[in-house]
Amino acid sequence: MADIPTLETLRTQIERIDDDILDALQRRMALADDVARAKLVTAWPFRDPQREDLLLRKLRGRAAERGLDPHEVERLYRVILDMSVARQQALVTRLDTTPLRVGYLGVEGSYSHLAARQRYGHRPGGVLLTGFDSARQSVEALKQGAQDLLLLPIENTTAGSMNEVYDVLAAGDAVITGEVVSQVDHRLLGLKGAKLEDLREVLSHPQALAQCEDFLRTHVPQARAVLGPDTAVAAQMVADRNDVTVAAIASESAASRFGLVVLASDLQPDADFTRFVEVARQPTPLAPDVPCKTSLLVVLEHRPGALGQVLQRLTQRGVNLSKLESRPIPGAPWKYRFYLDVEGHAASASVTAALDDLRPLTSSLRVLGTYPRAEPIDG
């Protein structure tokens, strides 16, 4: 019978392993600093619950392969993830320059996230991105000082306006300071081995489903459209369900993130763009020679021809109207407020004169913001 090591020997071996674990944890935390710097430079969120869930699923599987309790390993790694995020956040407080805090809608890999990376990536001083579930939630964070800016989708050239964003702007807690126009590039994503003819469900955000309606009707008429909170979340749901009859409409970035394959491309019209507005607590000064746009919120006097007179007076002042949107006023049945985008600065002579002309026709008129006019760009 082989000699059994003494208890003291076994404890010494365990202590050495514990030292190895602590050394590895130290190296992991040191990498967290580098990850934080990379995220600030490239505009990635410090924390993304969906990404963490994906990592934890992988760790549970690897733990089971080693004969370890997957649930206990998950519990341990949740603590390690909290330590890592705390380390990254602590780095921000030690920087000479404070990174810009920007909120967006959805999760990492969503179109709002990609647009935020496009606009703020490689900004001097870095950018700290945070995803939100709703426009209302993001504006509340802005109002409380937890965010410096928001980038919110407000309209799409195929599916129309994002009404929630218009409604939160009406609350008066924020102003528009900029805009981004990004080309939409949807993909149909599924599991490896999935086929179009076998699909039974296609998941995505309502706007994405509307943008791809013609493709779905022509190529997968048998599949039922299922509404989801976000395109990237829809991709994650497909990965979680592990069902070849389920697909998602999302970005190619989401496919890479969740281990899906692209089943089809070019799902929407060629000239399909989404417009995002940058939102802040206070307006940003603009040079007088910057081509810009001014957004207005108007409630008209309740009398015949009021809207027609508004349009006529803008024309008389030579002010070009580029957008007109109506939304019902909560608590006032059959009454509406109007959102107008006009070309020019609110302080310019022509726009100032037009606003003076409009006020007698309205019960309320508010400038939502003057900001540089964007041109369509590839996403």
What backbone phi and psi angles, to 5 degrees, belong to 95?
-75, 150
Query: Residues near 333 by Cβ (< 8 Å), separated by ≥ 6?
Result: none
Ranges 25-29, 52-56, 220-224: which has the least confidence: 52-56
CB 134 within 8 A of CB 150: no
> Which of 139-143, 237-241, 301-305, 358-362 has the least mean pLDDT?
301-305
CB-based contact 69:63 (threshold 8 Å): yes
Fold agreement (100-183, 187-264): yes
Cα 146 from Cα 144, distance rounded (Å): 6
For the domain made up of 100-183, the CATH class stated in words is alpha beta
Per-residue confidence (pLDDT) for residue 2, from 0 to 100? 62
Per-residue pLDDT, averaged over 50-71, amounts to 89
Q: Is the CB of residue 184 less than 8 Å from the CB of residue 272? A: yes
CA gap 375, 153 in Å, rounded? 15
pLDDT reported for residue 23: 93
β-strand pairing of 175-183 with 149-156: unpaired
Q: Where are the domains of the chain?
A: 22-94, 100-183, 187-264, 288-370
For range 151-175, the mean pLDDT: 87
Fold of 22-94: Chorismate Mutase Domain, subunit A (1.20.59)
For 249-303, write each residue's pLDDT tens digit.
Answer: 998 888 988 899 999 998 876 667 889 999 999 888 887 778 999 999 999 877 7
The residues annotated with a catalytic role in the active site are 274, 276
343 band by pLDDT with thresholds 50, 70 and 90: very high
What pLDDT, on a 0 to 100 scale, did the predictor assign at position 96? 61
Report yes or no: 99 and 40 within 8 Å, Cβ to Cβ.
Answer: yes
Identify the CATH homologous superfamily for domain 187-264: Periplasmic binding protein-like II (3.40.190.10)
* 8 Å CB contact between 177 and 293: no
Q: Residue 159: what pLDDT?
A: 77
Mean pLDDT of the chain: 88
Strand pairing category for 160-161 and 149-156: antiparallel
Distance CA 329, CA 338 (A): 10
pLDDT at 220 over 90: yes
Annotated binding-site members for substrate: 11, 28, 39, 48, 52, 84, 88
**Which two tokens mark 298?**
């108007």
Please tell me the distance from the alpha carbon of residue 298 to that of residue 151, in angstroms, as a whole number: 23
Nearest-angstrom CA–CA distance, 141 and 132: 9
Residue 53 has a CB neighbour count (10 Å cut-off) of: 12
CATH class of domain segment(s) 288-370: alpha beta
Look up residue 340 and give its amino acid: L
pLDDT of residue 378: 45
What value does the mean pLDDT take over residues 67-93?
86
- For residue 119, CA distances in Å to 43, 180, 347, 379 come to 9, 8, 26, 10
**With 80 as the cut, is the pLDDT of residue 65 above it?**
yes
What pLDDT does 5 receive?
A: 85
Q: Within 10 Å of residue 231's Cβ, how many Cβ atoms?
A: 29
Q: Give the pair of three-digit tokens for residue 159.
A: 């599916």
User: pLDDT grade, residue 379 (50/70/90)?
Assistant: very low
pLDDT tens, residue by residue, 103-141: 999 888 888 888 998 888 877 778 889 999 899 999 999
Strands 273-280 and 175-183: antiparallel
Segment among 100-104, 204-208, 331-335 with least mean pLDDT: 331-335
Binding site members:
11, 28, 39, 48, 52, 84, 88
DSSP-assigned beta bridge partners for residue 286: none
Q: Which residues of 142-175 are buried (b: 16+ CB within 10 A; e: fewer)?
A: beeeebbbbbbbbbbbbbebbeebbebbbeeebb
Please tell me the predicted confidence (pLDDT) of residue 92. Answer: 66
Please tell me the predicted confidence (pLDDT) of residue 3. 75
Q: How confident is the model at residue 147 (pLDDT cuts 50, 70, 90)?
A: very high
50: closest CA among 245, 228, 199, 264? 228
Look at strands 149-156 and 127-132 and give their pairing.
Answer: unpaired
CB 261 within 8 A of CB 196: no
Residue range 21-48: mean pLDDT, rounded: 84
Angle, helices 135-143/163-170, rounded to nearest 10 degrees:
30
Contact in structure between 132 and 105 (CB atoms under 8 Å): yes
In sequence order, the β-bridge partners of residue 155 are: 161, 275
User: What confidence tier does 88 reach under pLDDT thresholds 50, 70, 90?
Assistant: confident
Predicted TM-score (pTM) of the model is 0.73
Nearest residue to 207 via CA among 176, 264, 253, 161? 161
